Amino acid sequence: MEAHFTEWLNLGIRWIHMIVGIAWIGASFYFVWLENNLNRSNPREGLSGDLWAIHGGGIYHLEKYKLAPPKMPENLHWFKWEAYFTWLSGVALLLVVYYLNPSLYLVKPGVDLAPAAAIAIGLGSMAVSYLIYHVLCDSPLGKHPALLGAVLFVLIIAAAYGFSHIFSGRAAYIHVGAIIGTIMVGNVFFTIMPAQRALVKAIETNTTPDPLLPAKGLLRSRHNNYFTLPVLFIMISNHFPSTYGSQYNWLILAGIAVLAVLVRHYFNTRHASQRFAWTLPAAALGMLCLAYVTAPVQRAPATAAQAQAEQPTAANAAKIEQAPSAASSEQPSAPAATASAADAGFARVEQVIHERCTVCHSANPTSPMFSAAPAGFMLDTPEQMKAQAAKIQAQAVAAQIMPLGNITQMTQDERDLIGRWIAAGAQLN
């Protein structure tokens, strides 16, 4: 029941995170688009531009003031709660998914790091990263946007590199996303909203607004706009082990972040000209290159000597036949291995999969963490093992991110054994 409750808690928070995140990112995209598409030719007095648009069966006329209208309207919508709830729900997800089980989900297998220390690093990195970002933006470097962007990129990827040495692949990626998300919501809370409040107060008190504050808010808003696509990739990356599961996961993240920024830059500038249209095919080519360089190295099929070495003796075959599954008596037992050379190799593979994988990936998981097989991925029968051979190769052999946190202590020899079985065609007999 605890696993079932945790799963639904995860689902509920994740759904909220997705809903408010869409609202925040959608507003960011829209207002950057609006700013870029204003008609600035001969605007009426006090305006910097306007825009006519049609949507949903209606025609709209939007106007942007150079600074503010002479009198504040009675009803003024503030865009802030979307950002706040996106960050709060994201932190809640960190707590439920990673911090409640830090030894399993957060800390990289083999790393001697106390769970409390890992959590402290995760939370501390978010606060420290925003402070560094804020100082850099307010420094002389902030007057050189391109150089500032390059410095920020290097620092974020340096954080990814550091995380990859102490956190699991998924945790490393999600903490980079948490850093970026914290910077984004910090921009809203500490810079954009104060600038907007100062503007409104100046109008209400009939004083001259400080033009530097709105300019600073606009800069931070543009930063948030460029951050969005890398963050969106990180949000979906846990479905793709060839990225976070690679030993060079931080470099893959760096590559995808660059490609995402190129795509975002095209959409931010296409209103003025098409001189950045090359970024779209460049990004597509870059993704193809990343897919190629991250492809797992295919192991050669087992040689006759290796196959002979993997065949158990008559005495050991009997042990394999009688070996209990590490999952529990509720799991379907592995079919008995015979002493024939034809099926002795698979008998060993089947035993390893039952002992190391079906604790979770079963119709009836014995792990207390799951009430159902994660993603419906089951390995109870030989036919299921053969059908899922490609995924087993990707996650347990190539990326070695499964078993999760290596909770069942799968050895390298066992991974190699499964890899040779798959390379030889994943034969069942």
Of 124-133, 181-190, 234-243, 311-320, where does mean pLDDT reach its minimum?
311-320
- Tokens 């024939």 belong to 340
Which of 282-291, 357-366, 419-428 has the highest mean predicted lDDT (pLDDT)?
282-291
**DSSP annotation of 65:** E
Say what the pLDDT of residue 323 is: 41
Cα 336 to Cα 351: distance, rounded to the nearest angstrom: 10
Q: What is the CA radius of gyration of the chain?
A: 27
Cα 408 to Cα 352: distance, rounded to the nearest angstrom: 10
Indicate if the pLDDT at residue 234 is higher than 50. yes
Contact in structure between 183 and 130 (CB atoms under 8 Å): yes
Of 70-79, 95-104, 293-302, where does mean pLDDT reach its minimum?
293-302
3-state class percentages of the chain: helix first, strand second, coil last, to nearest 5: 65, 5, 30
Classify 103 in phi/psi space as left (phi over 0), alpha (psi -120 to 50) or beta.
Answer: alpha
**DSSP annotation of 57:** T
What's the average model confidence in pLDDT over 342-356? 81
What's the average model confidence in pLDDT over 37-48? 92
Quote the percentage of the chain above a pLDDT of 70: 88
Contact in structure between 238 and 254 (CB atoms under 8 Å): no
Indicate if the pLDDT at residue 66 is higher than 90. no
Cα 365 to Cα 75: distance, rounded to the nearest angstrom: 55
Cα 392 to Cα 386: distance, rounded to the nearest angstrom: 9
Of 119-123, 337-341, 355-359, where does mean pLDDT reach its minimum?
337-341
Of 49-63, 85-99, 274-288, 344-358, where does mean pLDDT reach its minimum?
344-358
What is the DSSP code string of 188-224? IIIIIHHHHHHHHHHHHTT----THHHHHHHHHHHHH
Contact in structure between 273 and 281 (CB atoms under 8 Å): no
- Identify the CA nearest to 265 among candidates 159, 146, 183, 138: 146
Cα 210 to Cα 67: distance, rounded to the nearest angstrom: 9
The Cβ of residue 309 has, within 10 Å, a number of other Cβ atoms equal to 9
Cα 1 to Cα 371: distance, rounded to the nearest angstrom: 8
Say what the pLDDT of residue 214 is: 79
Task: Encode pLDDT of 245-303 as tens digits.
Answer: 888 999 999 999 999 999 999 998 988 889 999 999 999 999 999 999 887 665 554 45
Indicate if the pLDDT at residue 342 is higher than 70. no
- Tokens 């070695």 belong to 400
The domain limits of the chain are 2-41+81-293, 304-423
- The structure tokens listed for 300 are 């050669």
- The structure tokens listed for 402 are 């499964």
Report the DSSP beta bridge partners of residue 49: 64
Cα 276 to Cα 201: distance, rounded to the nearest angstrom: 40
What is the DSSP code string of 300-328? PPPPHHHHHHHSPPHHHHHHHHHPPPSS-
Please tell me whether residue 108 adopts helix, strand or coil conformation. Answer: coil
Task: Encode pLDDT of 294-341 as tens digits.
Answer: 876 655 544 545 445 544 444 444 443 444 433 333 333 333 333 333
Please tell me whether residue 47 adopts helix, strand or coil conformation. Answer: strand
